[in-house]
Chain A
């Protein structure tokens, strides 16, 4: 296996910026066709973004979290669905890096392999000779139709009659796809439903979830690599916070692009840019976008610094990453809503980006792991001295 030299960080961000015009051009198509455009998928691969979270020994870049935020947020300036899909692919490639090394050899033998992933257990896994049989159904399987593999959450029955959560890895070709992705937002992400009917999974492709969440990974070769030292939830949460940041920046770009020459209808303002109301709006939105970035990068720095120093994670720190994710989503949504409501009646046409950005950020905020109220409540419990009310942190 050849080892690729990872491009310097600035180079990856430049490549992401370079993709923005293409993504903006395809965004409406993706919104209408409810999946990513092949040109966008190819462009992500060509830029090397599908290698960012792949272990270095397979030609991956092993990019740190700051780089991940830089790139995924920049892609989000181009298109929210593409940014979200890239976040899923990056996270799931990283998740495969937690599996035994023989499994990784198989999955990563395909360069730029695309792996989609689901966190909520939608299936039951039953032991059989040499492995397990899985049956179940997962909704919201982002990018499934354009992926080769799928990391999926499931439960396995335990001796005491209970269930233990596991992470399983299946080739997409083993799953049935139901295209039910008719949604209000993130339409281009093609987050369809997938079904497993009596699918056999070899034992090494089933990972108990408890140790995964605790940060105990099965890969021996990745054990000492910086990016694989981070626990699962902080890694996944920080990665997706970049999507919120990208969407908020996209809204600002979209607003300022339309501002010159726009009037405020039925008022005496000849130019929206001269109205003090506009000044309050753009200043407030801009400071909130800065704050979105603060939260995303604070979480990223925590992950990168801990990987460097080998310091263990406290419960409060894990909860703070969830808080940062919730806060990033909340501030980004507030910023987008301000700019959206300042964009006038003409902005509701489907070919005007701001209305799609607004639908995308709202959708992001409704995700069970990203929802601000859920994350704020969790962090609040911890700093009030209570136990967490979820294992997902």
Chain B
């Protein structure tokens, strides 16, 4: 096992800030080709992005949540699609770190491994005496083109005779690819559909959801690592926030590049910078970005505190995890809308970042975990003293 020095938070963030130009240079290519450019994936590997939630035993960094937010912001500043893929890969590294150590030895043989996957159960699994045989198809596998493994979720009959979801890790070589990723936003993520036909998965490579929900994990080595403490809602919500703040910051950067030479056509204003309407717009967008980052930081502080103290979450705190990421989406989407609508018709060319940022932030806001209204409803239920209406809390 190679001995890896874990970079400091500042060092890691600087490395990722340094690859922002690479991400920006490839953004339009990714948008047109509906997948990440190899150069982008390599840049993220070199910067250490993909090791952040890999166990330290395998050369990973086991980063805390504030660092994840920092790095997410830089990736989002670069381009929405690689930022989104990083989130998806982080999530699955975190998930696999709960599988038995022998499974991890295989999957994390390279600390820069890419594992794609989704949470939504689909298809079915037939339990056999030494594993499960799975058939089904799963959409939205972000980063699949550059992944070696996939985590899938399917339904099987548990030992008590009930239908229960399982999560399983499978090599990409066992799956068929359906390239259906022709979409409005996050086009560069290449979030294609993957199909399993009677794929055998050995017992140690799957977990029952009830075990995960009880935080009974297969890994002995990671059992005491703060990085891998649950519940999953804390980590999954947290890894989603930074990139959205970063995308809104990218919109701000793109906007300010143009205001000093852009005229406001059909008015007397010589430049956009001197137009009082612009002043209201930039101030309002700015405070929304600041508020979004405030929620991202508050959430990260909560999850880090829980991880390091091992204190249990209250239901209200779990619900806050959801509303924080929902409000981040809402505020960043609103901020980007302001910049986009203030960018004029010149902003709609495919070569202009603002139109892509607008499509990307909208796609992110529609994701089931981010969708603001859903998260607000859940938080509101809990504030009103009702039970949560979702398992995912």
Nearest A residue (CB) for B293: A294
Question: Given B279, B282, B381, which contacts A279 in the complex, CB threshold below 8 Å?
Answer: B381
Interface stretch (choices A26-34, A47-55, A380-388)? A380-388
Check A283–B273 contact: CB distance below 8 A.
Answer: no
Q: Is B197 an interface residue (CB 8 A)?
A: no
Bound-state Cα–Cα, A385 to B279, Å: 10
Which residues of chain B from 159 to 204 have any CB-CB distance to chain A below 8 Å in the complex? none
Q: Is A368 an interface residue (CB 8 A)?
A: no
Q: Is B384 an interface residue (CB 8 A)?
A: yes
Question: Given A273, A283, A290, A376, which contacts B376 in the complex, CB threshold below 8 Å?
Answer: A283
Min C-beta distance of B316 to chain A, whole Å: 10
Q: Is A315 an interface residue (CB 8 A)?
A: no
Bound-state Cα–Cα, A376 to B259, Å: 18
Min C-beta distance of B110 to chain A, whole Å: 41
Min C-beta distance of A219 to chain B, whole Å: 34
Q: Is B346 an interface residue (CB 8 A)?
A: no
* B252-274 contact mask (Cβ, 8 Å, vs A): 1 or 0: 00001001100000000000011
Q: Is B317 an interface residue (CB 8 A)?
A: no
Q: Is B123 an interface residue (CB 8 A)?
A: no
Which residues of chain B from 335 to 393 have any CB-CB distance to chain A below 8 Å in the complex? 373, 375-381, 383-386
Bound-state Cα–Cα, A276 to B377, Å: 6
Nearest B residue (CB) for A385: B273
Bound-state Cα–Cα, A385 to B379, Å: 40
Min C-beta distance of B162 to chain A, whole Å: 29
Check B279–A384 contact: CB distance below 8 A.
Answer: yes
Check A383–B282 contact: CB distance below 8 A.
Answer: yes
Q: Is A287 an interface residue (CB 8 A)?
A: yes
Collect the chain B residues with CB atoms within 8 Å of residue A291's CB. Answer: 291, 294-295
Collect the chain A residues with CB atoms within 8 Å of residue B383's CB. Answer: 279, 282-283, 286
Check B273–A294 contact: CB distance below 8 A.
Answer: no
Which residues of chain A from 355 to 393 have any CB-CB distance to chain B below 8 Å in the complex? 373, 375-381, 383-386
Check B287–A323 contact: CB distance below 8 A.
Answer: yes
Bound-state Cα–Cα, A161 to B113, Å: 77
Collect the chain B residues with CB atoms within 8 Å of residue A67's CB. Answer: none
Check B380–A280 contact: CB distance below 8 A.
Answer: yes
Choose among B260, B323, B375, B376 the residue with the greatest number of A CB atoms under 10 Å from its CB.
Answer: B376
Question: Given A375, A380, A385, which contacts B281 in the complex, CB threshold below 8 Å?
Answer: A380
With A376-B283, A384-B274, A384-B279 known as contacts, the answer to whether A280 contacts B386 (CB < 8 A) is no
Collect the chain B residues with CB atoms within 8 Å of residue A294's CB. Answer: 290-291, 294
Q: Is A221 an interface residue (CB 8 A)?
A: no
Q: Is A327 an interface residue (CB 8 A)?
A: yes
Collect the chain A residues with CB atoms within 8 Å of residue B377's CB. Answer: 276, 279-280, 283
Chain A residues in contact with chain B, CB under 8 A?
259, 273-274, 276, 278-284, 286-287, 290-291, 294-295, 298, 323, 327, 331, 373, 375-381, 383-386
